[in-house]
A and B are shown apart, each in its own frame.
Chain A
């Protein structure tokens, strides 16, 4: 894989205020500081207005190349022509080296834009109060957003892809993402950057124009995100720049990484009863050099032991089995958290994690049946277990089918601006262990539907959306859908206090309710 060239954009809008790129953040001006942080990763180029060059040039580190341009078209042309991958950052970004390491690792070799959003708590807060500057065709939507007036570019990301940016975003769909100022462009996609014609200056948001150009040329743009809580600021003036540098220096990066290792949107049981301690196990594993795949295999082995314990049939063995099952599930959470904490993702690991989740569940159900048969129950237990398996397969297949249809809709560029939002965690491969099932927070609207806003499906969906914003209801919904944490907890509990037959019927009953609930919601959204 080739080393990408990092391009820093020092193209601030012409105005009275001194540009933040020259403001001191600690010892160095903002752009020079960023350049120094990036030089150890590879070649760094600063793309600046000709008027800024005299002030900027002397303060840049030696290994940096300075390229001057006179207008937007020239800048885009320079970016579009050339060989090698690019990572384009706005030159006024103040952040730490860890964030840059993670950014480069996450975007290596691909075309991606860095997004943040309220869903993962990384929306930038205004540091300068300069609300809603109309910076041209990209920025003029910023004024319309109901945030704290931050000067940022709205973006839509769904299923791990950036779908729309800037004025192409539909504010009515409740854009919860912002484009944070970094875009990676693979070599093959660079020519697309010149596809937008001449136009107004993009000011501080040229990176968003790059994303818009890529989307306009129907190139897939992945949505990359940083661990929640890592500082990433775009200060607008000198005091803000200094404050941002201080913030970066004061960040406890290990603490941030550990907290960010926990999935933002997970089941209730996992979030409140497992993750608070499992993340410390993840850190322990990291310090001993254990890899996520090793933890995944250990989790599977313990799951098989749990199944074996259930198969023995008597109460004491059932208690042991329950404890082992909970241990296996905790390790199952640890492997994903370890991967996020250390930043080591692998597709084989994600696949193994998902397949072993299924295998554990099937082994445990079989163990329960064998134990039940030994305790004197009838062979029809096999049918019950098969039915429980079938129900879960049907539920997951509904999830997969719905997601496939959503993704197919998104792939059509003409419909791109008006799309449903999805879990921003979808970027990391571990999100493929898609347990809670992606249930969109917002309806998908097709532009061909004139859409009778007063029709029952529309009202029902809007009502559901409002209801989900109440925390108690949001968590209640997460429990009702019986995700893997709740399932394993249910099995453990009932194996101890009841018979396998009762456990299987409970899985079927609750699972049936969960399926009806999820399916009903999706049906409404599809027909709305």
Chain B
């Protein structure tokens, strides 16, 4: 895995899309994303943010399949962060748990990058699978928001993610 790919923090879904295992291509997936967003907006009562978050997530997944300009590939991790963290803020709102989840996510992301630069190691596959990757975490959060339990979900996710990262990091440093 290249350093840039490591920084993207792709989960199982995004990785398999990127490797073209699904027999679809960019435009098709994009059209599907738009349809999903419209359906979500139609089903939900006026107001909530989660249909837009769902659309954003679908678009981001569509971008995984489409080929971005290779010269701008370095912007991809930052865009994914902005999407993920922005979605957390939009869905969980003015709650300390939103901030806590962001802090846990930041610790997760910085730890991966700093360890890669300083020691040249990446976290093991099982740790990445459990942490979910940006698309699965966001999917979970959108689902929680649609069910109206965004804030409790954040309250659970934040310490869980932080705990996972601390444990895995400590294991890697003492190994």
Contacts and interface: CB of A to CB of B under 8 A. Distances in A.
Which of B77, B81, B107, B118 has the most A CB atoms < 10 Å from its CB? B118
Q: Which 6 A-B pairs have the closest CB atoms?
A: A401-B74, A404-B3, A379-B94, A397-B78, A390-B85, A405-B74
B88 A394 contact: no
Given A348-B173, A386-B99, A393 B74 contact: no
Contact of B102 (A350, A386, A401): A386
B81 A405 contact: no
Contacts of B111: 355
Interface in B64-113: 71-78, 81-82, 85-86, 88-89, 93-96, 98-99, 102-103, 106-107, 109-111, 113
Nearest to A396: B110
B4 interface: yes
A294 B9 CA distance: 32
Given A355-B114, A382-B98, A393-B85, 4 more contacts: A378-B94, A389-B106, A393-B109, A394-B82
Contacts of B117: 432, 434
Interface residues of A, number: 40
Interface in B44-81: 71-78, 81
A110 to B, nearest CB: 13
Contacts of A526: 71-72, 74
Interface of B: 2-4, 7, 71-78, 81-82, 85-86, 88-89, 93-96, 98-99, 102-103, 106-107, 109-111, 113-115, 117-119, 173
Contacts of B85: 386, 389-390, 393-394
A209 interface: no
Contact of B74 (A348, A362, A396, A404): A404
A201 B111 CA distance: 49
A408 interface: yes
28 contacts: A347-B118, A348-B173, A351-B173, A354-B110, A358-B110, A362-B106, A369-B99, A379-B94, A380-B94, A385-B99, A386-B98, A389-B106, A390-B102, A393-B109, A394-B81, A397-B77, A398-B74, A400-B113, A401-B4, A401-B74, A401-B75, A401-B76, A401-B77, A401-B78, A402-B74, A432-B114, A432-B117, A526-B74
Nearest to A159: B117
A390 B4 contact: no
A381 B99 CA distance: 10
Nearest to A349: B118
A366 interface: yes
Interface string A444-480: 0000000000000000000000000000000000000
A270 B94 CA distance: 34
B102 A389 contact: yes
A387 B89 contact: yes
B95 A379 contact: yes
Given A362-B106, A429-B118, A390 B96 contact: no
Contacts of B93: 383
A124 to B, nearest CB: 31
Nearest to B106: A393
A204 B50 CA distance: 69
A389 B96 CA distance: 13
A157 to B, nearest CB: 17
Contacts of A404: 2-4, 7, 74
Contact of A408 (B2, B89, B99): B2
Given A351-B114, A390-B86, A400-B77, A383 B98 contact: yes
A350 B4 contact: no
A293 to B, nearest CB: 12
A130 interface: no
Most A Cβ at <10 Å: residue of B7, B103, B173: B103
A284 B98 CA distance: 42
Given A393-B85, A404-B3, A382 B95 contact: yes
A354 B7 contact: no
B126 to A, nearest CB: 22
Contacts of B95: 379, 382
Q: Counting chain B CB atoms within 10 Å of each CB, which of A382, A390, A397 scores highest? A: A397
Contacts of A390: 81-82, 85-86, 89, 102
A351 B172 CA distance: 12
Interface string A323-340: 000000000000000000
A389 B86 CA distance: 10
Contact of A382 (B77, B99, B110): B99
Contacts of B99: 366, 369, 382, 385-386, 389
Interface in A350-391: 350-351, 354-355, 358-359, 362, 366, 369, 378-383, 385-387, 389-390
In this complex, the member of B96, B117, B118 whose beta carbon has the largest number of chain A beta carbons within 10 angstroms is: B117
Nearest to B100: A366
Contacts of A81: none
A401 B71 CA distance: 11
A383 B89 contact: yes
Contacts of A434: 117
A346 to B, nearest CB: 10
A174 B110 CA distance: 33
A59 interface: no
Nearest to B3: A404
Contacts of A359: 107
B78 to A, nearest CB: 4
A274 B79 CA distance: 34
A41 interface: no
A407 interface: yes
Nearest to B73: A405
B7 A383 contact: no
A407 B107 CA distance: 24
Contacts of A250: none
A527 interface: yes
Given A382-B94, A393-B109, A401 B7 contact: yes
A354 B98 contact: no
